Structure 1
Amino acid sequence: MARRDPVILIVEDELLLRLDSAETTEHAGFEVVQAANADEAIAILEARPEIRVVFTDIQMPGSMDGLKLARFVRDRWPPIRIIATSGRVVAGEDDLPAGSLFLSKPYRGPVLVSALRELTTAAD
């Protein structure tokens, strides 16, 4: 059976940042699914069980921010790994589920790709 690219869900309300992250991630060999907020992300997660990592902005409008989304994902889909990002707040170990990573904005594409590779390799 052919090896499939790991599927990454990018959750970012700012369209240009989401598109840039998606392009960087796709060029690195990952399959990308995009959501503008936590509600869209949850609907996608329910429909796409193959998602391996959720990369979420922390500060988003809607029913929950990225930290609440991270905890929800960990409770409902424990194998999914999480990377959170923000330019306004710094998430500490106590803010995110165990095994999650935090990237401060602005982050560089290679740093994101390295974090994604680390999490998807560790999950294999």
Structure 2
Amino acid sequence: MAQYAPLKRQLVLVVEDEPILRMAAVDMVEDAGFKAVEATDATDAVRILETRPDIRIVFTDVDMPRGVDGLKLAALIRERWPPIHVIVTSGKAEIGRMKLPADCVFFDKPYDERRVVAEMHRMSRIC
């Protein structure tokens, strides 16, 4: 009987400082068929991105501790890792009207998980 290698799930870096929200986002990502890697803030996210060239999508909150917010993280990702797609989320609606870096998508909190997952799948097809 032929053996097939399992399909490699694409990696999504979830950046969220609130543990409960991070766990919920990780569940959403994994339920959608992706593999999640977790970061508690932008500094942690950059450290992970520097060592994990296999990450294709970053899902980040805007408000985070230690000085670098999700918008700055998105800009840094666009500058240093242009192929990575970024989804930004926040409970502050005015942030959604701000100019995001290229190939970044914004969702207001509370976000519709179906729309976020659909966007992740769209992004994964163009990686």
TM norm. shorter chain > 0.5: yes
- Structure showing greater radius of gyration is 2
2:7 equivalent to 1:3: yes
* 1:1-124 to 2 correspondences below 5 Å: 3-88=7-92, 89-92=94-97, 95-123=99-127
Q: How many residues align?
A: 122
Q: C-alpha displacement at 1:84, in angstroms?
A: 0.2
Offset from partner CA, 1:76-118 (integer Å, 9 cap, x none):
00100000000014333x6211121001000122122111111
Q: C-alpha displacement at 1:8, in angstroms?
A: 0.1
- State TM-score, norm by structure 2: 0.90
Take 1:110 and 1:117, find their aligned partners in 2: how far apart are those partners? Answer: 11
- State TM-score, norm by structure 1: 0.92
Contact 1:67 1:95 in 2 (8 A): no
Structure 2 residues without counterparts, runs of 5 or longer: none
Take 1:3 and 1:75, find their aligned partners in 2: how far apart are those partners? Answer: 30
Contact 1:5 1:31 in 2 (8 A): yes
Q: After the TM superposition, which segments of 4 or more aligned residues of structure 1 sit over 2 Å from their partners?
A: 89-92
Q: Percent identity?
A: 43
Offset from partner CA, 1:17-73 (integer Å, 9 cap, x none):
110010111011101001110000001101111000111101111130000000001
